[in-house]
Chain A
Amino acid sequence: MAVTTEQIQKYLPSLLEARLGVSCGLTGCRRLTAGASADTWWLEAECAGPQQWILRLDAGAEDLGMAPGKHWEARAQQAASRAGCPVASVITILDGSEGLGEGYLMEALSGESLPPALLRESRYALARERFCADAAVALAAIHRTPLDDLQQLPMLDATAQLSQLYAMHKDYGESLPVFSLAYGWLKDHAPQTATPALVHGDFRLGNFLLTEQGLNGVLDWELTHLGDPMEDLGWLCVNAWRFGRRDKPVGGMASREALYAAYERASGQQVDETRVRYWELLGTFKWGVICQYQAYSFLRGHVPSLERAAIGRRVAETEYDMLVCLQELMELNHAD
Chain B
Amino acid sequence: MPINRPTADELETAIEQYRANPDNDPKVDGYYRKIIEHLDALLEREEELGKAFAKGEQARLVSTAELLSLPEASLQRLCERFAEGNLGKSLPIIIEIWLPLAKEKLKIDNPRYRE
Contact = CB atoms under 8 A, between A and B. Distances in A.
B8 to A, nearest CB: 10
Given A306-B15, A309-B11, A316 B110 contact: yes
Contacts of A315: 4
Nearest to A317: B113
A184 B83 contact: yes
A184 B95 CA distance: 13
Given A309-B11, A312-B4, A312-B5, A180 B79 contact: yes
A181 interface: yes
A333 to B, nearest CB: 12
Which of A295, A310, A335 has most B Cβ within 10 Å? Answer: A310
Nearest to A304: B17
A298 B36 CA distance: 16
Interface string B40-51: 001000000000
Contacts of A181: 82, 87, 94, 98
A179 B98 CA distance: 12
Contacts of A244: 115
Contacts of A49: none
Nearest to B18: A306
Q: Chain A contact residues (Cβ within 8 angstroms of B): what range? A: 35 or more
B6 A327 contact: no
A290 to B, nearest CB: 13
A269 interface: no
Contact of A310 (B17, B39, B82, B85): B39
Contact of B35 (A178, A310, A320, A326): A310
Interface stretch (A58-66, A169-177, A277-285): A169-177
B92 interface: yes
Q: Chain B contact residues (Cβ within 8 angstroms of A): what range? A: 35 or more
A330 interface: yes
A316 B105 contact: yes
A317 B109 contact: yes
A274 to B, nearest CB: 16
Interface in A254-310: 292, 295-296, 298-299, 304, 306-307, 309-310
Contacts of A299: 5-6, 10
A199 B76 CA distance: 35
Contacts of B82: 177, 180-181, 183-184
Given A309-B14, A319-B102, A176 B1 contact: yes
A181 B67 CA distance: 15
Contacts of A335: 91
B79 A317 contact: no
A336 B87 contact: yes
B78 interface: yes
A177 B35 contact: no
A6 interface: no
A123 interface: no
B75 A306 contact: no
Contact of A306 (B36, B91, B94, B105): B36
Contacts of B10: 299, 309
B92 A298 contact: no
A313 B15 CA distance: 14
Interface of B: 1-2, 4-6, 10-11, 14-15, 17-18, 32, 35-36, 38-39, 42, 64, 75-76, 78-80, 82-89, 91-92, 94-95, 98-99, 102-103, 105-106, 108-110, 113-115
Interface of A: 166, 172, 174-181, 183-185, 187-188, 244, 246, 292, 295-296, 298-299, 304, 306-307, 309-310, 312-317, 319-320, 323-324, 326-327, 330, 335-336
Given A179-B79, A310-B11, 18 more contacts: A174-B5, A176-B2, A177-B98, A181-B87, A187-B83, A299-B5, A307-B32, A309-B14, A310-B39, A312-B5, A314-B110, A316-B108, A320-B106, A320-B113, A323-B95, A324-B99, A336-B87, A336-B88
